[in-house]
Amino acid sequence: MTNLNELLSQVTERRQNLLQKTVSTRTRHFCMVLEDLFDPHNISAVIRTAEVFGLQDVHIIEEDNAYKVNKSILKGSFKWMSLFLYKKRMACMANLKAKGYKIAVASTNTENSVLDLNLDQPTAFYLGSEFHGNHPDTLAAADYEFKLPQYGITESMNVSVAAGVLMTYLDVFMQKKGREHYSLSLEEQNTLLENWLDRHVNGTENNSPIQRIDD
């Protein structure tokens, strides 16, 4: 707590209030998983949207396509997020399941709407490649397949747009019960706040938001 107080003393009162208010609304009840997206602009756009909606964690599978941070698209959201990069898709799924997440995979081959899912349980939402969707191994190991409600002739939408629509549904769900029911623990909030302040004051070189998981 001493280090947290020291970092707080280095920012304005307005910035302190903004960060403390924001961290109190952060959630890990839901997270986004991006599987081998081809266009790094789409990944960066999803990360930025997740930050706006208060989803702290984004998991990025780069088994086929490597991801490079595009700060021009992220517009400053990069340092407020927790990003996990995986070289192996099943390592990502194993990590999420070990943390208690149910796996929900976007698919055009299902009649299940996201509105039909049991969202009371922590859920990781997979969005797949712009060209091929999610990998067959991912679909086979998922707990659920889902699609977004849509009423036009076009079968799919841009993945970053789909992510934004999905996160809107998730936000509405949490607001109905009260987002405070899905907030981080006080210990998690303090740890996250300290990381945010450190990155804001000292930069991200020695405290990167990215964690690479190679197993």
Residue 205, CB half-sphere, CA atoms under 13 Å: how many?
A: 3
Low-confidence ranges of the chain (pLDDT < 70): 1-2, 70-75, 215
The type of residue at 196 is W
Is 27 in contact with 124 (CB distance < 8 Å)?
Answer: no
* Residue 185 pLDDT: 97
CA angle 79, 72, 59 (to 5 degrees): 50
Map out the domains of the chain as residue ranges: 32-184
Q: What is the pLDDT of residues 40-91, one digit of tens each?
A: 889 999 999 999 999 999 999 998 878 877 666 556 788 999 999 999 999 9
Is 43 in contact with 37 (CB distance < 8 Å)?
Answer: yes
* Residue 75 pLDDT: 63
Tokens standing for residue 51:
């930050």
* Residue 33 pLDDT: 97
* Residue 99 pLDDT: 96
* Residue 155 pLDDT: 73
pTM reported for the whole predicted model: 0.93
The residues that bridge with 30 in the sheet, in sequence order, are 123
* Residue 153 pLDDT: 84
Give the CATH fold of the 32-184 domain: Alpha/beta knot (3.40.1280)
* Residue 215 pLDDT: 64
* Residue 30 pLDDT: 98
* Residue 194 pLDDT: 95
* Residue 71 pLDDT: 64
